[in-house]
Structure 1
Amino acid sequence: MPHCRGSGAVPRCRDESGAAARPAGTGRPGRDGEGPRSVAAAVRREHRRRRAGAGPDAVASRCTEGFRATYGFAPSDYQRDLRLRRARVLLAEGTAPPTAAAEVGFADQAHLTRWITRTYGVTPAAYRTAIHQDSHRSQSAARGPRR
């Protein structure tokens, strides 16, 4: 429980450890690395890098190199992989390829078809059909043989 004294608009308060405390919403933003001050600090760092000869391309290149060194592939490859995984889920749920392409962020169905074929060796429509045939077979097997 904070201990407060003073008659100003914001009383001077101390918590149990004796540290200054303020009522909620009156603290200064950015103290814990969040808010306008940390953004301003990031902008200042970026301006210093640019003045030192590191243009936006150099900064982007460093980010890409760091990502590649950490994860083993480029950020664009990672983004594409996430899109392809989500597209496979949508196709398995019965979504039409053009709708799946738009939903996951491909420019059009042709791009989705190109990447799914390149990555998985089948077209989106063939993948969707195969998944649905497998699910129908497993449902039939669960019901037992026909008499």
Structure 2
Amino acid sequence: MASKVTKIAPCLWFNTEAEEAAQLYTSIFKNSSIDNVIRYGKERHETPGIAEGDVMTVTFTLEGQTYTALNGGPQFRFNEAISFAVHCDTQEEIDYFWEKLSEGGDESAQVCGWLKDKFGVSWQVVPTALFAMLNDPDSGKSERVTKAMLKMRKMDIRRLEEAYAG
């Protein structure tokens, strides 16, 4: 059985939660699917908590981007060095993704539109309009927006626009 393979796809290393994570992410994002599940056979690295028949990898797609989730054991953990940016056109989108992705996550990691989900994966939930504001040739506008953004946990488009307008 052949499955679609993209040239470059992020691989997320989980302890044993790969399938749970893929199910959560595909339930949150539209145009998403779980594409393939591979289970461990007899031949495998001996990893505590992983047995023959357990999920090894889950290939899933979110908004056209393919990902692989791997159950590899507890030796590696996620950190903020890698994050996934979710670009949102409206405050309603920001609120939706923030609520869904932050549920059960680390509240202390919520700053400037960043959050950690319950698996420790970092996400940036940001308004698409932010980039135009920060790239404005009027440095006063971009500085005001930056100052406002640095005080936020979840992005607030109205407050960013107010800062931009002065």
Higher strand share: 2
Higher helix share: 1
When the two structures are superposed, what TM-score results if normalisation uses the length of structure 2?
0.28
Identify which of structures 1 and 2 has the higher relative contact order when contacts are C-alpha pairs closer than 8 Å and 6+ apart.
Answer: 2
